[in-house]
Amino acid sequence: MIVWIFYKPPMKNTDFRDSQKKNKGISAIDFFCFEKIHYITSFIHPPESNMRSPAFLFLALFFLLPTDAFGSFEHRGPDARIEAMGGAGAALENPPFGPFYNPAAGNRSNGSSAGISYALPFGESSFDSFYGILQTGTLPFDRNGSASISWQHYGSSFYSESCTYATYSTKITGAVRAGASVGLLQRDSPGRGTESAIGINLGVLTTFSPLVKLGASVFNLNKPESGRGNESAPITAFAGASYKPAGNIIVSAAMEKPEKKETRLLTGGEVRILKFLSLRAGFATGPSTFSGGAGIMFKNVQGDISLVRHPELGTGSWYTMRVIF
């Protein structure tokens, strides 16, 4: 694949189209890559700038190029509570957002919950994400089961991804729950229209003791393929543990292994300092990020906020609202 990267003012799209006509060796995918890089660099720097930042060019390649090395539909965490704890959510129940981190995480009680979330991971609206989920632990065919329907949208009008998942989990032994989710993955971009695929996620969650939980999950297990080039979404695996030494304290840690990337360590904790207020902090490697946040509870409604500091990209923010009924 040819990737066009400019460290001087980029030519206009019309000029690139003209050069594409003269050089038929440049494919539509190459033009698609140029369009996305040009869009991001133009958004961050004014058109008259004489230099393009290498860090943001790398970001464009890393997160948006639809190739096997940098695939679409990478795992993204939506919950401000978990993201404030370093993203270590593989071994937490955490209704209703648990299935985003482990499909086995469900409502252990016979209740229901719902939540919405907005994330601005890199401080720029081009990368913002919206999430919604409805989860229930009241199933007529399985008194130990939990089911949810969730939706997420990432990107802007120029390039976007959306996923809709149906998740089901149940107790398979006294201390072990297993869960699976099936989702419709869709990607929209200029010149390529809407491309779709079906994704499958699996998870297991074990209550090792009243104080300790162990969890593991795999996302995009079937490597769903989409697009004319049959581009596959990357597999991401998690394995983690959580420890609750006291009723108002939780410590959680997890290992994240994205396909074709290095393993990351995610760790964090939460302390409930007042009946209505919880404080959180976390740390993750690869790259090294620091996070923190707070949650405010009023009866059955909870609002959460988190900030994550990236060493090169700055500060991202997550905002979550949930209700348990």
Q: For the domain that residue 197 is a member of, what is the CATH number?
A: 2.40.160.60
Q: Mean of the pLDDT values across residues 29-49?
A: 38
Position with higher pLDDT, 111 vs 8:
111
Structure tokens at 105: 């995480």
Structure tokens at 314: 């700055």
* Pair (181, 262) in one structural domain: yes
Q: Mean of the pLDDT values across residues 16-22?
A: 38
* Choice among 34-38, 80-84, 139-143, 171-175 with the minimum mean pLDDT: 34-38
Residue 113 is assigned to a structural domain of this protein: yes
* Pair (148, 212) in one structural domain: yes
Is residue 133 predicted with pLDDT exceeding 70? Answer: yes
In this structure, which amino acid lies at residue 71?
A: G
* Pair (222, 95) in one structural domain: yes
Range of the domain at 58: 13-64
* Pair (160, 194) in one structural domain: yes
- The pLDDT tens digits of the residues spanning 269-280 come to 999 999 999 999
* Pair (57, 108) in one structural domain: no
* Pair (171, 310) in one structural domain: yes
* Pair (122, 44) in one structural domain: no
* Pair (241, 99) in one structural domain: yes
* Pair (19, 160) in one structural domain: no
Measuring CA to CA, which residue among 109, 74, 85 is closest to residue 95? 109
Q: Note the pLDDT of residue 28.
A: 31
* Pair (99, 226) in one structural domain: yes
Q: Note the pLDDT of residue 66.
A: 37
Peptide bond into 66 cis (omega under 30): no
Residue 5 is assigned to a structural domain of this protein: no
Residue 146 is assigned to a structural domain of this protein: yes
- The pLDDT tens digits of the residues spanning 170-210 come to 999 889 999 999 999 999 988 778 889 999 999 999 998 98
Peptide bond into 287 cis (omega under 30): yes
Q: Give the torsion sign (CA, 219, 152, 172, 247).
A: positive
What is the chain's mean pLDDT, rounded? 81
**Strands 112-120, 231-232: pairing kind:** unpaired
Q: Note the pLDDT of residue 26.
A: 31
* Pair (55, 102) in one structural domain: no
Q: Note the pLDDT of residue 108.
A: 63
Position with higher pLDDT, 270 vs 144:
270
